[in-house]
Amino acid sequence: MNEEYSIRTKKTFHLNCKIYGEINGFPTVIMDAGYGDYSKAWESIYPAISKLTQVILYDRAGLGKSERSSNPRTSLFMVEELRELLKSKNVLPPYILVGHSFGGVNMRLFNNLYPEEVAGLVLIDSTPEEYPERFLPTMSEGFKEAYKKQFTREGNFLEFMGSLKHLQKSNRVSDTPTIVLSAGKKDHYSKESQALWNKMQKEILKFTTNGEFVVAENSAHYIQNDEPQLVINILVRHIKSLSNINYSNNRIMINEKNLIDVLFESWSKTTSSKWCPENPAKGQCGVTALVVQDFLGGEIVKTLMPKGWHFYNKVDGIRYDYTSSQFDKGVHYSDIPSNRAEAFQDTNLEQYLTLKQNVLSYQINR
């Protein structure tokens, strides 16, 4: 199956998506290109991979054939846009995530936030999260200037730095099978710079219990173009190695009737700065809607209140508003469809990760 789609998200912009191949008992492969790049970056390898399993190529918002998004251009929102795209086409997990350069930042963040949806990771000369602090200072002034000037096509340098910070804050050791492929012949790199680059690439594997490091000795940054057969061989081997793993639904289910008690114990000032003992639900709606969807599924919806949007959930047509107690008066619900990207604009990554971990810990220790 070779199909091309233009998907309209709930934020009313189009994301261009291409689907190749068929599902043949292997996880679906999702490929994400580097900064400012789009689906054409995978032309040298996707035909071979699509003979084995389904492959999804897409253009991030504002690139290729995709329209611009009003969401911030950071990895957190790019991941949520990708997940919404996959959901809209009924492309079900688990996925093998393949990221090149900045796309590797996105794919690692995807895995950090939703490891239950990921079968494997392949990172192709991926940007290390400590690149600006550890690597960039070792390069010439001309290289530094040119590097920072490139951030004009999707987001600026500050948003790029924000993406790296999102990755750092979300890093956890997981058991996701991960292959890191490092370019061994980088342009404009001294021997020392090349050695440091390879070292930082290998260090990415400290966040997995099941990792492999490969140096593409004859490749510059675009390994998939310089040594396409190497990348194909690695991907094919990785895909086949994951075929016999049982990927049941890994979502930890919590009874919706008990969830309110869990949330009241889990909310704090670390999940919303507006929290107080007298009104623990205050300011918790966005972060709570995200975490509730993680455990119960369903949709995120919203209603406009005097001080802004109020987020909550709908599951199988039933409304679940666990933070309505923050309001003195009742909520006249509109149930306007929303999404995770919008809810994240009501909170931040640290608050989300904290609440999710609090809920998990409370549930496990009950």
pLDDT digits (tens, 9 = 90+) for 88-113: 999 999 999 999 999 999 999 999 99
Q: Which residue has the higher pLDDT, 106 or 5?
A: 106
Instruction: Give residue 269's pLDDT.
Output: 96
Instruction: Give residue 364's pLDDT.
Output: 54
Residues 6+ apart with CB under 8 A from 307: none
**If you average pLDDT over every residue of the chain, what do you get?**
92
pLDDT one-digit tens code per residue, 25-34 = 899 999 999 9
DSSP 81-149: HHHHHHHHTT-PSPEEEEEETHHHHHHHHHHHH-GGGEEEEEEESPPPTTIIIIIGGGS-HHHHHHHHH
Alpha-carbon distance of 356 to 246, in angstroms, equals 25
How would you list the strands of the sheet with 178-183, edge to edge? 2-8, 14-20, 55-58, 28-32, 95-100, 118-124, 178-183, 211-216
Could you tell me which of 252, 79, 59 has the C-alpha nearest to residue 170?
79
Which residue is associated with the tokens 């995120």? 300
- Residue 243's alpha-carbon distances to 20, 23, 205, 239, 285, in angstroms, are 19, 12, 22, 7, 39
H helices present in 114-241, as ranges: 141-149, 157-170, 191-203, 223-226, 228-241
Helix (H) or strand (E) holding 24: none
pLDDT one-digit tens code per residue, 262-318 = 999 999 999 999 999 999 999 999 999 999 999 899 999 999 999 999 999 999 999
pLDDT one-digit tens code per residue, 47-65 = 999 999 999 999 999 999 9
Question: Is 173 strand, coil or helix?
Answer: coil
Using pLDDT thresholds of 50, 70 and 90, give the confidence band for residue 246.
Answer: low
Q: Which residue has the higher pLDDT, 249 or 308?
A: 308
Q: Under CATH, domain 2-241 is a member of which superfamily?
A: Alpha/Beta hydrolase fold, catalytic domain (3.40.50.1820)
pLDDT above 80 for 250: no
Using pLDDT thresholds of 50, 70 and 90, give the confidence band for residue 13.
Answer: confident
Instruction: Give residue 179's pLDDT.
Output: 98
Could you tell me which of 201, 205, 202, 200 has the C-alpha nearest to residue 171?
205
Using pLDDT thresholds of 50, 70 and 90, give the confidence band for residue 252.
Answer: low
Instruction: Give residue 31's pLDDT.
Output: 98
Instruction: Give residue 1's pLDDT.
Output: 52
Instruction: Give this prediction's pTM.
Output: 0.89
Q: What one-character DSSP code corresponds to residue 303?
A: E
Mean pLDDT of the region 203-215: 97
- What is the number of other CB atoms lying within 10 angstroms of the CB of residue 90? 6
Using pLDDT thresholds of 50, 70 and 90, give the confidence band for residue 5.
Answer: very low
Where along the chain do its domains lie? 2-241, 256-365
Instruction: Give residue 188's pLDDT.
Output: 85
